[in-house]
Amino acid sequence: MEYKSFLIKYAEIGTKGKNRYVFEDILCKNIRSAMKRIDGKFLVRKEYGRIFVDCLEEYDFDEAIEALQHVFGIVGICPVLVVPTMPWEELAEKLVQFVDDSYEDKNFTFKANCRRVNKEYPMHSMEVNMEAGAVLLHAFPELKVDVHHPEVMLNIELRDNIYVYSVTLPGPGGLPVGTNGKGMLLLSGGIDSPVAGYMVSKRGVNLEAVYFDAPPHTSEQAKQKVIDLAKLVAKYSGAIKLHIVHFTDIQEAIYHKCPEDEITIIMRRYMMRIAQTLAEKNECQALITGESIGQVASQTIYSLQVTNAVCTYPVFRPCIGMDKQEIVDISEKINTYETSILPYEDCCTTFVAKHPVTKPKLADIEASETLLADDIDRLVQEALDTEEVMSVW
């Protein structure tokens, strides 16, 4: 069966009062840009408080579903049969055909559910329901009717045209990206940070990302890997502005001047400071990291406190309470896992001490940072001045 249309179901945005129209418009816009990535011509339209995606040319069904499943705010996608208004006898034939095409095994319970918006149609919705039940039972004796808990709900909507649908494919849920401001994601190339970006973006937040490049300690491949990861996240979040910050000089200064076991934590504090400056410049409202309590030395609750102390912006850490396997599961779902595990060093692994501090004290770390006083401000400024920016999507 060739579906000519998809009905888009959304949940949370329907409850947002006066903002509802704004949310719907943003969702429509996001669906339009998602559909632009695939072959075919699609019309996204709002009608009677619902969103339809009409397929105007030949298209690939699976590709279209996949594209829609990347648009946050969509809860369900119903492939719809659209036919012009026609007499019941003809419509009955279409229904039989629809059920025959949609279900190979017809051993299930169903219920017909008619909505008559077009009051010109000569039959009431109850009549349509009863007739449809009768026609289908006659055509497929294995079918059973169950009006309370049907396995299949056959929806027949009589509007400008007639819409028939019964299958709802799951969408990604969440809120449309662009309805909730913008966050600056610290993207490292590991497993966690792309997942963190995905999760915050799911709540309607636009993303920018910052990567700390440290050649020659990190390679060109490591940088390319981060760009590839940003691209994968962008399939959900929409275009990401990626800031590549040259971090080598700061890292080397820390290495030379600070106690070995504090290198990583001090490095992370400078990353947060730089990320926050970029967030401010680019009108973001929050920072986003992939940190998870206790995963590594720099992510113990003590370390997080010390790292967090340099931030005045809220720092969102959606992976904070997750086990590694739970994070891996999400990264597999969003298709970033395979890229994340490519074996290129990132700047955090280069200088890891054999025994890094796990219970740093803020006062100690701040004291160690005074050892950098000579030129750290200049180095940070240089890093900010020489950032490379690209739009990734």
Partner 1 sequence: MEAYFDNAATTRASEAVQTMVKKVMDIDYGNPSSRHKKGAEASRYIKDAQESIAKTLKVEPKEIVFTSGGTESNNMALIGAALANKRKGKHIISTRIEHASVYNPLLFLEEQGYRITFLDVDEHGLVDPEDVCRAIDADTILVSVMMVNNEIGAIEPIEEIGKRIKKIDPEILFHVDAIQAYGKLKISPKRCQIDLLSVSGHKIHGPKGVGFLYIRDKVKIKPIIYGGGQQKDMRSGTENVPGIAGLGVAAKEMYTNHAEKIAQIQAVKDAFLAGVKKLDGVIDNSGEAPHIASVSFEGIERGEVLLHALEAKGVYCSSGSACSSNHPAISGTLQAIGMAPELLNSTLRFSFSVYSTIEEAEYAVQVIAEELPKRRAFVKR
Query: Where on the chain is the footprint of partner 1 (CB under 8 A)?
Result: 215-220, 252, 255-256, 260, 343, 345, 350-351, 353-354
Token pair 């648009």: residue = 71
Q: How many CB atoms lie within 10 A of CB 296?
A: 15
Strand partners, 315: 287
- Nearest approach, Cβ of residue 356 and partner 1 (Å): 12
| CA–CA distance, 254 with 257 (Å, rounded to integer) | 5
Measured from the CB atom, the residue of 76 and 259 that comes closer to partner 1 is: 259
Measured from the CB atom, the residue of 222 and 310 that comes closer to partner 1 is: 222
> Hey, is 377 helix, strand or coil?
helix
Measured from the CB atom, the residue of 134 and 341 that comes closer to partner 1 is: 341
- Nearest approach, Cβ of residue 327 and partner 1 (Å): 23
- Nearest approach, Cβ of residue 354 and partner 1 (Å): 7
- The identity of residue 213, as a single letter, is D
- Nearest approach, Cβ of residue 243 and partner 1 (Å): 21
Are 320 and 292 in contact by the 8 Å Cβ rule? The answer is: yes
Measured from the CB atom, the residue of 131 and 262 that comes closer to partner 1 is: 262
Give ∠ CA 97-101-105 in degrees, rounded to 5. Answer: 115
- Nearest approach, Cβ of residue 361 and partner 1 (Å): 21
Q: How many CB atoms lie within 10 A of CB 7?
A: 20
Measured from the CB atom, the residue of 149 and 354 that comes closer to partner 1 is: 354
- Nearest approach, Cβ of residue 192 and partner 1 (Å): 22
Measured from the CB atom, the residue of 63 and 345 that comes closer to partner 1 is: 345
Separation in Å, CA 291 to CA 76, 112, 299, 332:
31, 49, 6, 18
Are 383 and 250 in contact by the 8 Å Cβ rule? The answer is: yes
